[in-house]
Chains A and B, each alone.
Chain A
Amino acid sequence: MVRESFKDREDSDLVEASVGGDKQAFGEIVNRYQNMVARTVKGMLGDTVLSEDIGQEVFIKLYHSLPEFRGEARLSTYIQKMAVNFSLNEIRRRKRFMSMFALKENAELREIEFASGDEEKRSDALELVNKALMRLDPKFRIIVVMRLLQGYSTRETAEILDLPVGTVLSRLSRAQEQLKIIMKKL
């Protein structure tokens, strides 16, 4: 349980206390940002148990990198960038793994659907969004996740992904085209 005193504290105070080894302070950071990380990681990797592991690894990495956090960006942006990097790295790792075993192009999607099958019943809407996202190319998927699930503007998306605004706009446009085709099939 997080101490009441931490609930109203600024991010900078929590970071300082966490760097000093305060477990409760870091617990409050996790509580504050876990839903944001869940949207990115699960949006990118599918709503599976494996995504939860990746989410945990994001916060573990955050904890170890907090001493280097200078506060130049907001803590939420810093965490968001980590969640994006972890998700994209996991997609690359899966691709390498699939190619090692000569699995076909859509194997990742089938694995995600296979892994999701034993989860509790989801709403139809969530199922639809999951399927649509997983059928998108990852470089377009990340843009859609940032815009739709996180609610970022194009400019903010560009900042988090370290991409020029023009690139984000062109990828967004391609993502829309892909989504239209995908949605027709769902």
Chain B
Amino acid sequence: MKTDELKGLILKALETEQTPDSFMQELEEAGVTYTFSNDFSGAVLNRIFGESTVRIAESEFFSNMRLVFNRVALTGIAAIILLLISILLGQGTLSIDSILGIGDIETDSIISLMTGY
């Protein structure tokens, strides 16, 4: 079925008091079917009759993590890159010392600061 035909069919089906059975059949023939995976029934029974409380909580946790990951990851990477560029421009190098912010401090100064001499 062509896209335009399907669009017209959908809009027409909503104009009637009840969606005609023929529409449901055409929709199915066009590949519009919603089903769960083959082991759905087994998974439900396992969650009811098996030890599953932890898995439910885990599932919600991972779904939340998945939702937020692609938002936070990109922003985080951009922030890290900006920080590294600013260190490189300010310190002229990307050594551990410069990342820690102690790149231009002499060892004697640190000892003096810590010991008071």
Q: How far is the CA of A107 from the CA of B63 in the complex (A)?
A: 15
B41 contacts partner chain A, Cβ-Cβ < 8 Å: yes
Known: A123-B32, A128-B3, A129-B10. A50 touches B63 (CB 8 A): yes
**Contact A148–B34 (Cβ < 8 Å):** no
Measured CB to CB, the nearest residue on chain A to B37 is: A52
Whether the pair B35, A183 counts as a contact (CB closer than 8 A) is no
- Please list the residues of chain A having a beta carbon within 8 angstroms of any beta carbon in chain B: 23, 26-27, 30-31, 34-35, 37-39, 42-43, 47, 50, 52-53, 55-57, 59-60, 63, 94, 97-98, 101, 103, 107, 111, 114-115, 122-126, 128-129, 132, 144, 147-149, 151-154, 172, 175-176, 179-180, 183, 186
Closest B residue to A59 by beta carbon equals B44
Give the shortest distance, in Å, between A124 (CB) and chain B (any CB).
Answer: 7
Closest CB in chain A relative to B72 CB, distance in Å: 8
- 6 pairs, CB–CB < 8 Å, chain A vs chain B: A23-B49, A115-B66, A125-B3, A125-B27, A151-B18, A183-B11
Do most interface residues of chain A lie in helix, strand or loop, or is the interface mixed? helix
Q: Which residue of A lies closest to B3 (CB)?
A: A128
Residues in A with CB closer than 8 Å to B63 are: 50, 53
Pair A26/B40 contact, Cβ less than 8 Å: no
Nearest chain B CB to A10 CB, angstrom units: 19
Contact of B18 among A38, A39, A47, A153 (CB under 8 A): A153
In the complex the two chains form, is A23's CB within 8 Å of B17's CB?
Answer: no
A39 contacts across to B, CB distance below 8 A: 34
CB–CB A126/B32 < 8 A:
yes
| Residues in chain A near residue B117, CB distance under 8 A | none
Which chain A residues lie closer than 8 Å to B47 at the CB level?
Answer: 56, 60
Pair B44/A38 contact, Cβ less than 8 Å: no
Bound complex: CA A51 to CA B55 (Å): 16
10 closest pairs, A vs B, by CB? A123-B31, A153-B18, A125-B30, A42-B34, A38-B34, A183-B7, A59-B44, A30-B41, A39-B34, A151-B19
- B-side contacts of A179, CB under 8 Å: 10-11, 14
The answer to whether the Cβ of B70 comes within 8 Å of any Cβ in the partner chain is yes
Which of B30, B36, B68 touches A101 (beta carbons < 8 Å)? B68
In this complex, what residue of A is CB-closest to B21? A151
Q: Is the CB of B19 within 8 A of A148?
A: yes
- Whether A148 contacts B7 in the complex (CB less than 8 A), given A55-B40, A122-B31, comes out as no
